[in-house]
Structure 1
Amino acid sequence: MQHLILTYGLTAIVLLMAAESACIPIPSEVTMLLGGALAAGAVSGPHPNLIAVIAAGTVGNVLGSYLAWLVGRYGGRAALHRWGRYILLRTEDIDRAQDWFVRRGASSVFWARLLPGIRTFISLPAGIAGMSAARFGLYTLAGCLPWTAALAVAGYGVGANWHHLADTLRGPSYLVAALVVLAIAIAVVVVVRRRRRAAVGSTEQ
């Protein structure tokens, strides 16, 4: 996976984030953190703009989410339980996402995007429940954008140490959310300091 990102850059980010949102177990933490590190020029490979990395991750998330929504909408719960194992989709993952959707309603499509694990599967119960495509897309975009942006900015900030942060983020969902917020704060401080140093250097010259 890392090789794909380092070789194909934005294209790989779109495809991997789409696969993750389509319920294939590919960690977005790795994809987006590495994408941010690429944008910072901290690792070898293409060096896309940070905004482009965020956009690529978000587009991939939305596309994959719509694919999962379509599966839920037209395949139904029975089909998921029958065929889900072929894409490593566990019954307990489906049940957990279904319970989350039932308890929180349509807004769960937004909130679940901020939580690792359940964020991957929330599109399925939304499709099963017949949530409209437009409303689903709006909530999905609103939820995916801050998640992908947070990870990309964090990767940009920590640079070559992105893999250490990726390992740290493999914990309980709420802890991960808190760590992402902390990572954003750290990344912002790092970026601001880099710009100040660059500005001071240019002034001295």
Structure 2
Amino acid sequence: MTILIALQAAPAEATDGSLITRFADWAVQLMEVIGAPGAALAIALENLFPPLPSEVILPLAGFTASRGSFTLFEALLWTTIGSIVGAYALYWVGRALGRNRTRAIFGWLPLVELDDVDKVEGWFERNGAKAVFFGRMIPIFRSLISIPAGITKMHQGKFLGLTAAGSLIWNSIFVLSGYFLGENWHIVEAYAGVFQKIVIVVVFLLLVLWLVFKIRKTRAKKSAARERETAN
């Protein structure tokens, strides 16, 4: 019950909104009863219903791990599994139903704006595979990006790989923050936007460095091959 007490003691702005508060309470109880798989289920539902906040669930999972209910590794593993399951479910909704019927379903759901669906679809059309990876680190987009991937029948292996990688990075930031902040886990939500920008910039820089490394390696191989041809 320690975690529930900490949730109730958090500032009002950290758990603003009755729906979000009830969902956070439910997620806490779920993690206390069934452990790390409860975090996976909560995160899977967060993917299916974008207004539900991963910025609350993930730090709570980290906090729960810090209390010894399960290990930090289990928190990271199961939240990432939950992200993949939720994303894959939406992928198949888009793939099976197509654009128009999928839009009709999301237009019916409460708290989901069709403008958000249109923005995500446009972003996917402009960026393709990169949108699936980076979209996992942007609230709202992180859930909805799976839909255009399914509609366009993106290769499933590629989709799952990019989703797993992006989700692991995003989840790790928030789970680790909740783990080390302990009962002050709610601070994380206030800085979610800052974390989001930092994560995207760092990942982008790492990708650039990797690309530079690959280009240099390729050039070195070509140069060595030309030298061998010249020597012969």
Give the alignment's TM-score, normalised by structure 2.
0.69
Pairing 1:55-74 to 2, within 5 Å after superposition: 55-74=77-96
Residue 90 of structure 2 aligns with an amino acid whose one-letter code is: A
Does residue 150 of the first structure (1) align with residue 173 of the second (2)?
A: yes
Distance 1:146 1:168 in 2: 16
Is structure 2 residue 203 aligned with structure 1 residue 177? Answer: no
Aligned residues: 173
Tell me how far apart the structure 1 counterparts of residues 149 and 136 of structure 2 sit (CA, whole Å): 13
Q: Give unmatched runs, 5+ long, in structure 2.
A: 1-22, 201-232
Where does the alignment leave 5 or more consecutive residues of structure 1 unmatched? Answer: 182-205
Contact 1:15–1:60 (8 Å) recurs in 2: yes
Counterpart position of 1:164: 187
Q: Normalising to structure 1: TM-score of the pair?
A: 0.78
- Inter-partner Cα distance in structure 2 for 1:158 and 1:61: 23
Q: 2: distance between equivalents of 1:24 and 1:37?
A: 22
Q: Percent identity?
A: 31
SS in 2 for 1:114: coil
User: Of the two, which has the highest radius of gyration?
Assistant: 2
Shift of 1:167: 3.2
Residues 73-92 of structure 1 aligned to structure 2 (within 5 Å): 73-88=95-110, 89-92=112-115
**Could you say which residue in structure 2 is the equivalent of 1:139?**
162
1:1-205 map, 5 Å:
1-9=23-31, 10-41=36-67, 47-88=69-110, 89-169=112-192, 171=193, 175-178=194-197
Contact 2:39 2:61 in 1 (8 A): yes
CA displacement, residues 13-49 of structure 1 (integer Å, 9 cap, x when unaligned)? 11111112224421111111011111112xxxx6210
Contact 1:14 1:57 in 2 (8 A): yes
Write the letter of the residue equivalent to 1:154. Answer: S
Aligned letter for 1:72? G
Deviation (angstroms), 1:76 = 1.1
- Alpha-carbon offset, residue 177 of structure 1: 1.0
- Measure how far apart 1:176 and its partner are: 4.1
Whether the 8 Å CA contact 2:50–2:144 is kept in 1: the answer is: no
- Aligned partners of 2:95, 2:62: CA distance in 1, in Å? 34
For the 8 Å contact 1:101–1:109, the answer to whether it is kept is: yes
Cα RMSD (Å):
1.8
Contact kept? 1:4, 1:12, Cα under 8 Å = no
Residue 10 of structure 2 corresponds to none
